[in-house]
């Protein structure tokens, strides 16, 4: 990938409480890139009825709108839009997450050191204060924060444009669309890098947007420890 053009795709459904911090962190990550690598964020607004749109406009970030209520369809819409605009590498995160300043640079480093078709990164939980200590301990015991981990997060998943299109993209699934996409890459023999250098800080909220997403996972973990 001689010329890397990064499209950063962020789905959002009523994320007025978190979208500004997310976009600010993405801008900081973009500013760390060398001048020969371009990157631009794209928010996909999925039936937002709060102030998310106004906040995205205030941040000067490009956006498109839809009414899918299906994260797989929302991600796919944004990614195909970004590819049509020239993106050769897609970086996905979520509107309730904050990417680290070196989030994009670490991806570029992986791409240049050992060509890869996909990078699965890791997440840090932003706040444990409202959760029991048992939940935190159980989570830490489960989570493999290391190179070669096997965790999959839609909030920290990136890949090459041509590979994405070749496997058919995100399926129209309301949850686990990220797991499904990784399985497609694996089944078709694409190279996947499982990296703990590519990091995102994600929300520890328990009110799930997806029935079986990360918030639901934490909520179920908390429930089992009460």
pTM (2 d.p.): 0.89
**What's the pLDDT score for residue 18?**
95
What is the reported pLDDT for 140?
76
pLDDT in tens, 85-144: 999 999 999 999 999 999 999 999 999 999 999 999 999 887 656 667 777 777 777 888
Where does residue 113 fall: left (phi above 0), alpha (psi -120 to 50 degrees), or beta otherwise?
alpha
Residue 205 has pLDDT above 90, yes or no: no
% of the chain surpassing 70 pLDDT: 86
Domain boundaries, the chain: 5-225
- The mean of the pLDDT values for the chain is 91
Task: Write the DSSP string, 186-219.
Answer: HHTT--EEEEEEEEEEE----S-SSTTSHHHHHH
Give me the architecture of the 5-225 domain, per CATH.
Alpha-Beta Complex (3.90)
Instruction: State residue 211's pLDDT score.
Output: 60
């Amino acid at each position: 990938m001689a010329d890397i053009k990064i499209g950063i795709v962020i789905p959002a459904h009523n994320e007025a409480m978190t979208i500004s911090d997310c976009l600010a962190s993405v801008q900081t990550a973009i500013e760390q890139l060398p001048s020969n690598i371009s990157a631009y964020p794209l928010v996909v607004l999925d039936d937002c009825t709060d102030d998310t749109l106004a906040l995205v406009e205030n941040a000067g970030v490009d956006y498109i709108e839809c009414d899918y209520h299906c994260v797989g369809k929302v991600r796919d819409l944004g990614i195909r839009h970004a590819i049509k605009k020239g993106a050769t590498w897609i970086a996905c995160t979520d509107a309730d997450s904050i990417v680290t300043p070196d989030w994009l640079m670490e991806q570029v480093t992986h791409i240049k050191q050992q060509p890869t078709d996909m990078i699965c990164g890791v997440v840090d939980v932003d706040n444990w204060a409202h959760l029991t200590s048992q939940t935190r301990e159980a989570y830490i015991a489960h989570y493999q924060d290391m190179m070669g981990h096997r965790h999959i997060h839609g909030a920290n998943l990136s890949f090459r444009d041509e590979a994405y299109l070749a496997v058919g993209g995100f399926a129209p699934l309301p949850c686990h669309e990220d797991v499904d996409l990784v399985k497609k890459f694996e089944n078709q023999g694409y190279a996947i890098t499982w990296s703990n250098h590519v990091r995102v800080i994600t929300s520890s909220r328990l009110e799930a947007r997806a029935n079986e997403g990360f918030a639901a996972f934490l909520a179920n973990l908390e429930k089992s420890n009460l």
